[in-house]
Structure 1
Amino acid sequence: MARYRGPKAKIARRFREPIFGPSKALEKKNYPPGMHGNGRRRGKESEYAVQLKEKQKAKYTYGILEKQFRLMFEKAVRSTGITGEVLLQLAESRLDNVVYRMGIARTRRGARQLVSHRHITVNGQLVNIPSYQLQAGDVVAVREKSKSLTTIDDSLSSNEHVYDFITFNKASMSGTFVAVPERLQIPENIKEQLIVELYSK
């Protein structure tokens, strides 16, 4: 399966949440997409359907493919701690996600592109792997030659989010991944236990 590049509003309406950021379509049509719209009769979802939907939501939110997500889950199972929480912590520790959290890019898709195009450094070294797992204390920065990019400037000027597990200096365009976030510090509305139950079948 290729990375999803279809209509973002359609996905947002499916989960009834702004998966890719604020969506006007979600505000106007607060019901799932489909040819019959809001008039379609929908029966009660099965337990499996609810669990699958939660996994899909997590994958779309973080922009992770099925194989990557499965490998990440297996890594979470082998780790100490609560599997569901560790899974989200691994997703939050990805380089593309941290670049997004720092405000260097407006979306995770944009962050992934900046990393892939060699605009981001980790501890002074160029890293072009979006899934690169950061460790506590790693310094993430915009490459010197890339600091004049308009897209980065626009993103930083509109970013107002602050996270306890990240520090960022707009002047130097660099920040530190202070620590792996606790579950309460992760703002995403994902019921990770449903994902664990799905994979445990």
Structure 2
Amino acid sequence: MAKFMGPRFKQCRRLGLNVCGHPKAMDRSTKGTSRADKKLSPYGVQLLEKQRLKAYYGVLEKQFSNYVKKATKDTDPTGYALLKRLECRLDNLVYRLGFANSIRQARQMVVHGHILINNKKVDIPSYSVEIGEVISLKESSRNNLLFKDNFINSLNQYNYLSKDYDNFSGNLLKYPEREEIPILIDEISIVEFYSNH
């Protein structure tokens, strides 16, 4: 599985967005400014937004391009369709439900077989979760204190997800509306980037 291997804090500061989930990732006490702080051309803005969204969801270029192509064929506006597809990835919803404290950790949990969909193991982080599907922690993994504490102590609540604390599970109730997706991104710029290139 290909993944970004560079320094994550540096990547966060360069993109002007906390893409690694660490609370200190955006500490500006270090030297230098983010690329997001500099005056950019329209192309530069589009490119930066694309890089930010890719990094936030941990998706590489080829896979991201495929998401954009599918989004252009959706009946919803392309930018929203793109965000909706990324938001409903299994690794992201494992993170949103609180099983993991970052998307990166959620991806590891999925790959290592800790996560079930409708009681069946799914180890593909990019799996597209459908409405009504139940995401749960494998029975034997519920003894892992890190996973258990993450899930129980997570305070994040999303209108498109429900949590069942007793059964260490969650459910995708509906596809998220644009305003419910908790990421500051200009998806229109990303659509423009791909329509111009």
TM-score of the superposed pair, with normalisation by structure 1? 0.90
Structure with the greater alpha carbon radius of gyration: 1
CA distance in 1, matches of 2:134, 2:26: 37
Does residue 190 of the first structure (1) align with residue 192 of the second (2)?
Answer: no
Partner of 1:197: helix, strand, or coil? helix
Gaps in structure 2 of 5+ consecutive residues? none
Match of 1:149 among 144, 151, 156: 144
Which of 101, 106, 111 is residue 111 of structure 1 equivalent to? 106
1:143 Cα offset (Å): 0.7
Q: Which amino acid aligns with 1:170?
A: Y
Q: Which residue does the alignment assign to 1:51?
A: 46
Structure 1 moving runs of 4+ over 6 Å: none
- The aligned residue for residue 132 of structure 1 is 127
Corresponding residue number in structure 1 for 2:24: 23
Of the three residues 73, 83, 89, the one matched with 1:88 is 83
Matched, 1:5 2:35: no
Cα deviation for residue 7 of structure 1 reads 1.6
- Once residues 188 and 25 of structure 1 are traced to their aligned partners in structure 2, the CA distance between those partners, rounded to angstroms, is 15
**d(CA) in 2 for partners of 1:77, 1:157:** 38
What whole-Å deviation, never above 9, does each CA across 1:163-196 have from its counterpart, x for those lacking one? 0000012221011011110101001001100000
CA–CA distance in structure 2, aligned partners of residues 13 and 43 of structure 1: 12
Amino acid at match of 1:172: N
**May I ask how many residue pairs the two structures share in their alignment?**
194
**Greater shift in the superposed pair: 87-96 or 1-10:** 1-10
1:111 match: secondary structure: helix
Secondary structure at 2:86 match in 1: helix
Question: 1:65: Cα distance to partner?
Answer: 0.8
Query: Counterparts of 1:88 and 1:30 in 2: how far apart (Å)?
Result: 32
Partner of 1:132, secondary structure, is: coil
* Aligned residue in 1 for 2:162: 167
RMSD of equivalent CA atoms: 2.0
Unaligned stretches of 5+ in structure 1?
A: 35-41
Q: d(CA) in 1 for partners of 2:125 and 2:163?
A: 19
Q: Which residue of 2 aligns with 1:39?
A: none
Deviates more, 1:180-189 or 1:18-27: 18-27
Q: Structure 1 vs Structure 2: percent identity of aligned residues?
A: 40
| Deviation (angstroms), 1:150 | 2.4
SS at the partner of 1:80? coil
